[in-house]
Each structure stands twice: as C-alpha cells, then as structure tokens.
C-alpha cells in the first residue's frame, strides 16, 4: 500500500483535507454529488477542523456532499457525550453546509429486533447515493477499521457487532470507566468499506506503529482486519512519523 509520512498531525490533516476538497470540487464541476465515508475518533479531527476552516475562510462549498459515517456505539443516544453523532455534529456538521438530509450516521438506539432491517437499509442508502467516492478511515491498535474487530470476515456488511476488549479498554477514558463502555456497536462491514472507490487510512502516534507495520509489511490476515485493504485497488495510507517508527 502506498504510504506518506508527515512530520506533524497538522501537516497530515492539511494534506488529507486538500484531497477531500479536491474530490468535492471535481464532483461539483461535474454537477454531481460527492459521497464521503467518515470515521470518528481522535485521528480525523484535524481533517474536519481543516475542512471547516476551508469552508469558513476559503468558501469551500459542501452543498453537493453526502456523508455516511462508519459506526456508532449501540445503546447511546445521539445527544450523549460519547456518541459519534454528537462528535460529528460538534466538530464538523454544524459548521459546514452539508444538508441535514444528506448526513447519515448509524442510529445506536435502534431496537434489537429492528437492527437487521436498519442495517440493510443503511447499505441500500449507500447504494442509492451511488456508492462511496471517498472513504476516510482510522485504525485501531488491534487493526480494526470501523468496528470490524479481529476475525471479521472480508465480505461482512453493516451490522451489529461486539467490541473487542482492547477496543473497550481504549475507550475507557472517554466513558470515565471501562465498565461504562458499550459492548456493541453498529458498523459498516469490511465488504462495505472495500466497495468505496478510493480509501485513505490515517494513523497518528506511536501507539499505532505496530499495527501500521502489520498493515504495510505483513500478510493479509483476518487477525488484523485492516490488512484486507491490501487487496483494494485505490487505498493510500497517511501517517505521522511516530506511527512510522517500526517500518523497515
Ligand atoms: C471510528 C472508527 C474506529 C477508529 C479507530 C481509531 O469511527 O471507525 O475504527 O478509527 O478506533 O480511533 P482513534 O482515531 O481515536 O485512535
């Protein structure tokens, strides 16, 4: 996989935001929509802040953008502090001109007996939008993308999944204690992600250096779900120097 290493997270965020903006403008020139797949977590926040700045200071128009978020914790209300709904709105959506009907984030409050139909409908909405033009991804230290934890299958679709203990431990500080971290989430599947036409995976910090080495230098393995991206035809990896220290 092609990999670019940046000296700082700011430089990485500016570069990635420029790629996103270029696709939005290109699609606009064609009078077409730009369909984005979006992650939450700490890694992409600088990209969102840079896109907000471009919107506010440089007039970047996002009126043709349709978004699909990757995942949401199951059982969290959209207003709850740790919900990905709330994070996305606070950092990005409330500052830009994406029409609210064009924003899609999995609903963590769907009753259990409606989850399957809800997830099928999420997939149908992606298809109706024409598929995802550009997917941004973070990566968990255990190799998850979205919440596709180790041993997720490569053709998995949007579904209710169980969080890995490593993932729950990693989220403990956000929830003030590990026992408050939900056990489940709704996530796009690996199959859903692999259908995106272009994928950019971002990683920051030394804590990601081992998994970045496995992603870039290791074999494709279900143990590290992100390695499925090695079989995708337009995936690029963007990391800071700390995340790259274990590369040979
Ligand atoms: C979140 C998501 C996750 C994160 C990953 C890294 O929507 O899809 O896969 O990208 O857990 O999280 P951070 O960026 O907080 O290190």
User: DSSP letters along 158-206, please?
Assistant: SEEEEPPHHHHHHTTTTTSSGGGS-SEEEE--HHHHHTSSEEEEEE-SG
Query: Which tokens hold the place of 188?
Result: 């796009």
Whether the predicted interface score ipTM is above 0.90: yes
Confidence band, pLDDT 50/70/90 cuts, at residue 205:
very high
pLDDT at 243: 98
- Residues known to be catalytic: 71, 142, 144, 149
Can you name the CATH fold of 3-244? Rossmann fold (3.40.50)
Q: Which whole-number Å values give the CA distances from 69 to 154, 169, 178, in the listed order?
A: 19, 22, 24
pLDDT at 17: 98
Cα–Cα distance measured from residue 191 to residue 131, given in angstroms and rounded to the nearest whole number: 12
pLDDT at 62: 98
Count the alpha carbons within 13 Å of 206 in the hemisphere toward its beta carbon.
1
pLDDT at 223: 97
pLDDT at 77: 94
Confidence band, pLDDT 50/70/90 cuts, at residue 221:
very high
Q: Write the residue with the smallest CA distance to atom 8 of ligand 1.
A: 146
Contact residues of ligand 1, CB 6 A cut-off: 39-43, 70-71, 138-140, 144-146
Residue among 68, 138, 240, 243 to mutate when testing ligand 1 (max atoms within 8 A of CB) = 138
Q: Write the residue with the smallest CA distance to atom 1 of ligand 1.
A: 40
* pLDDT, tens only, 74-113: 999 999 999 999 999 999 999 999 999 999 999 999 999 9
Mean pLDDT of the chain: 97
The region of weakest confidence among 7-16, 56-65, 134-143, 167-176 is 167-176
Q: Write the residue with the smallest CA distance to atom 10 of ligand 1.
A: 138
Distance from residue 71's CA to the centre of ligand 1 (Å): 9
Residue among 39, 76, 87, 225 to mutate when testing ligand 1 (max atoms within 8 A of CB) = 39
Mean of the pLDDT values across residues 176-187? 95
The answer to pTM > 0.90 is: yes
pLDDT at 68: 98
Cα–Cα distance measured from residue 14 to residue 238, given in angstroms and rounded to the nearest whole number: 11
Distance from residue 40's CA to the centre of ligand 1 (Å): 6
Confidence band, pLDDT 50/70/90 cuts, at residue 115:
very high
Q: What are phi and psi for residue 184, nearest 5 degrees?
A: -135, 165
Mean of the pLDDT values across residues 214-229? 98
Q: Write the residue with the smallest CA distance to atom 11 of ligand 1.
A: 140
Nearest atom in ligand 1 to 69's CA = 7
Contact by Cβ (8 Å): 215, 237 = yes
Radius of gyration (C-alpha) of the chain in whole angstroms = 17
* pLDDT, tens only, 9-51: 999 999 999 999 999 999 999 999 999 999 999 999 999 999 9
Cα–Cα distance measured from residue 134 to residue 94, given in angstroms and rounded to the nearest whole number: 21
Residue among 9, 16, 38, 43 to mutate when testing ligand 1 (max atoms within 8 A of CB) = 43
Distance from residue 61's CA to the centre of ligand 1 (Å): 27
Contact by Cβ (8 Å): 31, 60 = no
SS3 78: coil
């Amino acid at each position: 996989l092609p990999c670019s290493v940046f000296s700082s997270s700011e430089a990485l965020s500016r570069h990635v935001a420029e790629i996103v903006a270029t696709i939005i403008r290109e699609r606009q020139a064609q009078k077409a929509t730009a369909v984005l797949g979006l992650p939450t977590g700490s890694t992409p926040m600088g990209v969102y802040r840079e896109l907000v700045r471009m919107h506010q200071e440089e007039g970047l128009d996002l009126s043709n953008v349709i978004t699909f978020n990757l995942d949401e914790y199951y059982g969290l209300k959209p207003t709850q502090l740790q919900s990905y709904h709330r994070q996305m709105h606070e950092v990005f959506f409330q500052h830009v001109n994406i029409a609210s009907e064009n924003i899609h984030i999995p609903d963590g409050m769907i009753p259990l007996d409606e989850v399957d139909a809800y997830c099928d409908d999420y997939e149908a909405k992606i298809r109706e939008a024409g598929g995802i033009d550009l997917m941004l991804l973070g990566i968990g230290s255990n190799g998850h993308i979205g919440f596709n934890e180790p041993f997720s299958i490569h053709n998995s679709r949007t579904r209710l999944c169980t969080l890995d203990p490593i993932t729950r431990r990693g989220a403990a500080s956000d929830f003030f204690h590990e026992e408050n971290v939900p056990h489940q989430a709704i996530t796009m599947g690996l199959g859903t992600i692999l259908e995106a036409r272009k994928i950019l995976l971002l990683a920051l910090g030394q804590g990601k250096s081992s998994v970045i080495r496995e992603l870039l230098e290791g074999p494709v393995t279900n143990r590290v779900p992100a390695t499925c991206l090695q079989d995708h035809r337009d995936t690029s990896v963007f990391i800071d120097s700390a995340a790259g220290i274990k590369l040979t």
